[in-house]
Chains A and B, each alone.
Chain A
């Protein structure tokens, strides 16, 4: 069964600290993996995308990694800011071409405290 599991479910950190969010997937055939940030009351916004051949991708203070062998991805946030408080969603695409489909993880809720 195609699945995407994220951990932890929620996380609280102090401003300025780093954190890492995890995503494990069992999807076949894998196409790509995206991380989205969803602020409270807003729709998700794409942070990064990685294909099978990519193992790291950065977007400012956000760095995503992908291990296609173990089917794991992580999102590392450096020097957290209050504005990083949000839900982070891992989304895996499988299939190919116009028939490709998405599976959304349940998200990790991050709270950054001053």
Chain B
């Protein structure tokens, strides 16, 4: 089982460029999440999708947009990248929202904005 698959694994952008990070899960989970991980800090929630057709802001949504394309796929878009968005981005999924489920994470996308 693939679990949660993220693409690309690495990306370098120039300030002002746009890009979309892709995420897909094959576990039939309803809920999906985007986190960013920065040195010395815990993972912070950017956006989440409780179920297909819904999306909600997390702790640090500014500068990002998301699309829940279908039950399997949840993408994260940076419209105009800034150096402050240099980070490692993780997609995760759970059967449903709430804290009672273990999260399955993807392997991450390491993004550098120069």
Measuring CB to CB, which residues of chain A are less than 8 angstroms from any residue of chain B? 4, 9, 31-32, 34, 41-46, 49, 89, 93-107
What residue of chain A has the Cβ atom nearest to residue B38's Cβ?
Answer: A106
Residue of A32, A34, A44, A49 with most chain B CB atoms under a 10 A cut-off: A44
A93 / chain B contacts, CB cutoff of 8 Å: 98-100
Residues in chain B near residue A101, CB distance under 8 A? 99
**Which B residues are closer than 8 A to A by beta carbons?**
4, 40-45, 50, 90, 92, 96-100, 102-103, 105-108
Tell me, rounded to whole Å, the shortest Cβ–Cβ distance linking B72 to chain A.
Answer: 17
Question: Would B99 and A43 count as touching, CB distance under 8 A?
Answer: no
**Cβ–Cβ < 8 Å partners of B103 in chain A:** 44, 46, 102
Give 13 CB contacts A-B under 8 Å.
A4-B42, A9-B40, A34-B102, A41-B107, A42-B107, A43-B4, A43-B108, A44-B103, A89-B42, A93-B100, A96-B98, A103-B42, A105-B42
